[in-house]
Amino acid sequence: MGSQPRRVCVTLESRLESMDLGEEIARCVAGTAAFDEDEQHRISMAVRECVINAFKHGNCSDVRKKIEVDFTLLADRLVVAVRDEGKGFSLNQLPDPLADERLLATSGRGIFLMRCFMDDLRVVSGPDGGTVVTMTKRLPSNHKPTAAAETTKERQP
């Protein structure tokens, strides 16, 4: 576990195949970070939904635009940031997927799922375009920090 990476950054193309790739990489990183299989599944589904949104809503399926996925393992949590080249959006303006009139809707549940599966979700849209959705998942309470993760913790402000 001493060789566990602290950071994994991947650049995905805006293609359908990237959804599977992002999901699979997320599962590997979550496994490395000592999450159990259920949590690995939740984390990889959240990343999949987020990459789909980056592809579809952010990059508007434009193959020239990239999606960057950045996994950072800290002493107590995994942070996943998904960046696209789109115009962004506001979490406050999304309709509630649990509202009566939305219950039969066939879309509009991705963000809801990400929020259920992860501990925290934030969206930042830059002034020059580009959106970063950052999701955080706390490590299991019985997790023993690795030397690498401890080093990261010490460097935090």
Is residue 154 within 8 A of residue 8, CB to CB? The reply is no
Q: What is the DSSP letter of 56?
A: I
Q: Binder to Mg ion among 53, 59, 72, 134 (CB under 5 A)? A: 53
Minimum CB distance to Mg ion, residue 76 (Å): 28
Options 5-13, 14-22, 49-57, 70-78: segment touching ligand ATP (CB under 6 A): 49-57
- Per CB under 5 A, 110 contacts Mg ion: yes
Q: How far is the CB of 48 from ligand ATP (least distance, A)?
A: 10
Site for ligand ATP in 68-87 (CB under 6 A): 84, 86
Q: Identify the residue whose tokens are 């939305």.
A: 102
* Nearest approach, Cβ of residue 145 and ligand ATP (Å): 32
Q: What is the sign, positive or negative, of the torsion defined by CA atoms of 36, 39, 43, 44?
A: positive
Residue 90 found at the interface with ligand ATP (CB under 6 A): no
110 part of the interface to ligand ATP, by CB under 6 A: yes
The residue with its CB nearest to ligand ATP is: 110
Q: For residue 34, give every residue at least 6 positions away whose Cβ sits within 8 Å of its Cβ, in sequence order, or none.
A: 139, 140, 143
**Least distance (Å) from ligand ATP to the CB of residue 120?**
16
Alpha-carbon torsion, ordered 99, 135, 120, 23, to 10 deg: 60
Q: Over 80-120, what HEC string results?
A: EEEEECCCCCCHHHCCCCCCHHHCCCCCCCHHHHHHHHCCE
Interface residue list for ligand ATP (CB under 6 A) = 49, 53-54, 57-58, 84, 86, 88-89, 94, 107-112, 131
